[in-house]
Structure 1
Amino acid sequence: MSTQQVARAFVSLADTFDDTVDPAVLMQRLVAHCVTFTDSDAAGLLMVAARGELRPVAVSDDRDDLLETMRRQAVAGPCVECWLTGLPVQVDDLTSYAGAQPEVVRSALQAGHHAMHAHPVQVGHQTIGVLVLLRADAGPFDADGLHLAAAFAEVTAVALMQWRAQPLLAHDIVTRTQSVISARATLETAKGMLAAHARLTRAQATAVLAGYAREQGLRPGTVAHRLLSRTLPLDEVTGTEAPAAE
């Protein structure tokens, strides 16, 4: 596994502007990358439907036994626990879990899987699905691989939320690019105002603005816009009054 391979995998998960890419492609890429870059033998993705239930949407292999395992996991067991708690659930040996959910676990064991890791797929603080990793051998999964799978899931969740059925037109791209430039200009102007107001360096002003935004649960751009529109006092952000004129 090279750095370039991992980088290409991340790019493929974030590529929502390719006309050949849709949510099904992104989800399939996610489970495929998990098998390639972790020590799992198979992977699946469950998503939360509008009716408040998990549904299988992607598997790394279209084997009947893997599909059946995903269907079972959508009803009860480690994946449902992961969904309800919003926390990863790892079962190093499924035979030890069978006592709690024998019917659910049996399909995984019959398919040859003895270890399972369920990781929540989240947008903000809301869990929208569960990424499932399966392995033939019992025992803990490699920690680095789990971190990478979690990052893959996070990127995919963002991409799914940003995907749109209609591709961006050239005008849309120009408009969005200009919005980025304008937002940056607003941020830089606000930093200059803070620096002049409290006699801060540019770096200090950047830290002050970012710190205030974090404390208030706001985006830095929102704080910058309020500073420029004079709806947010400079003193409130810097915590100091302007120095007296000499």
Structure 2
Amino acid sequence: MDGQRRAWLWQRVADGADHRSSAGWAGVVCEVAVDEIDVDAVAISVRSGARVQELVTVSEVWAQELEELQYTLGEGPGVEAFTTGGPVLVAEVHTARGRWPGFADAAGAHGLAAAFSFPLQSGAIRLGVLTLYRGRAGPLATGGLMDAAVLAELATAALLADATGSKRERAQWIREDSSGHYDAFNVATGMLAAQLRISIEEASLRLRAHAFSHNRSLLEVAQEVLRRHLSSDLFRE
């Protein structure tokens, strides 16, 4: 992707979050996706296995209904994207009856013709899914696919930053290249998982919980774990 296009998308989400506090970071990501990509509705969900653990935000009620179908049936593009860790691009939902027999028929009855899901993940940590819905069949153009991939990164950053830090801190994280933040967080998570003999997912949750309960940014806590300024004993249950 052109670096200017990538930077513009990041800036657009950051500016939107600054001026529309009620929408929140994730909500603005959905708004930008609908504006910039040839789709009709967008949803962001936090998942655990085949079931939606939490519906974070949707661009409209139609997307919520489709997310609820996936939750009820335990199948669909978002479920598959989360499970496999790769994008799931379905240009014609009615042809996916072999993959998702219940969802394909039910979603078709709701007017869904095409769906495109992107996992929200950072390293070994998989948080959820960004799913784009459309009432017209057909693939996404190359530009739309690239924009969706960038917005999935932004949604991941939003979810990681949402639990901690002030609005100004979140704006700073999302305006910068987030690789440094991800690297520190991922390495710290891996260290805790190894030291406490727990899963990566559990270590991630404990890091975020510690940051939230002490009113500190996730990046600060991760860096202190790496520098061994915070003992792993602080993260034991």
Tell me which residue corresponds to 2:189: none
User: Any conservation in 2 of the 1:44–1:70 contact (CA below 8 Å)?
Assistant: yes
Query: 2:26 is aligned with what amino acid?
Result: M
- Which whole-Å CA distance do the structure 1 matches of 2:19 and 2:165 have between them? 9
Is 1:10 the equivalent of 2:18? no
User: Any conservation in 1 of the 2:92–2:113 contact (CA below 8 Å)?
Assistant: yes
- Which whole-Å CA distance do the structure 2 matches of 1:156 and 1:19 have between them? 18
Tell me which residue corresponds to 2:145: 146
- Which whole-Å CA distance do the structure 1 matches of 2:50 and 2:15 have between them? 28
- Which whole-Å CA distance do the structure 1 matches of 2:69 and 2:38 have between them? 23
Query: 1:71 is aligned with what amino acid?
Result: E
- Which whole-Å CA distance do the structure 2 matches of 1:34 and 1:43 have between them? 7
User: Any conservation in 2 of the 1:83–1:130 contact (CA below 8 Å)?
Assistant: yes
Q: What is the identity percentage for the equivalent residue pairs of Structure 1 and Structure 2? A: 29
Unmatched 5+ stretches in structure 1: 173-221, 223-246
- Which whole-Å CA distance do the structure 2 matches of 1:11 and 1:28 have between them? 15
- Which whole-Å CA distance do the structure 2 matches of 1:52 and 1:118 have between them? 14
Q: Map Cα deviations across residues 123-168 of structure 1 (whole Å, 9 max, x no partner).
A: 2232211111111221211121111111112123123323455638
Corresponding residue SS for 1:162: helix
- Which whole-Å CA distance do the structure 1 matches of 2:9 and 2:104 have between them? 31
Tell me which residue corresponds to 2:97: 98
Moved over 6 A (4+): 3-6
User: Any conservation in 1 of the 2:29–2:151 contact (CA below 8 Å)?
Assistant: yes
Distance change >3 Å, CA 86–CA 130, structure 1 → 2? same
Query: 1:73 is aligned with what amino acid?
Result: Q
Tell me which residue corresponds to 1:137: 136
User: Any conservation in 2 of the 1:14–1:159 contact (CA below 8 Å)?
Assistant: no
- Which whole-Å CA distance do the structure 2 matches of 1:100 and 1:163 have between them? 34
- Which whole-Å CA distance do the structure 2 matches of 1:152 and 1:136 have between them? 21
Is 1:72 the equivalent of 2:69? yes
Deviation at 1:68? 1.8
- Which whole-Å CA distance do the structure 1 matches of 2:5 and 2:101 have between them? 39
How high is the TM-score relative to the length of structure 2?
0.58
Unmatched 5+ stretches in structure 2: 170-222, 224-237
Query: 2:86 is aligned with what amino acid?
Result: L
Query: 1:133 is aligned with what amino acid?
Result: L
User: Any conservation in 2 of the 1:114–1:136 contact (CA below 8 Å)?
Assistant: yes
Query: 1:135 is aligned with what amino acid?
Result: R
How high is the TM-score relative to the length of structure 1?
0.56
Is 1:120 the equivalent of 2:119? yes
**CA RMSD of superposed structures (Å):** 3.4
Distance change >3 Å, CA 134–CA 18, structure 1 → 2? closer
Q: Map Cα deviations across residues 84-133 of structure 1 (whole Å, 9 max, x no partner).
A: 11000111111111243232223321222211111111122322111111
- Which whole-Å CA distance do the structure 2 matches of 1:85 and 1:60 have between them? 25
Distance change >3 Å, CA 100–CA 13, structure 1 → 2? same
User: Any conservation in 2 of the 1:19–1:167 contact (CA below 8 Å)?
Assistant: no
Deviation at 1:4? 9.1
Distance change >3 Å, CA 136–CA 151, structure 1 → 2? same
Tell me which residue corresponds to 1:48: 47
Deviation at 1:43? 1.1
Name the stretch that deviates more: 92-101 or 33-42: 92-101
Corresponding residue SS for 1:116: strand
Corresponding residue SS for 2:112: coil
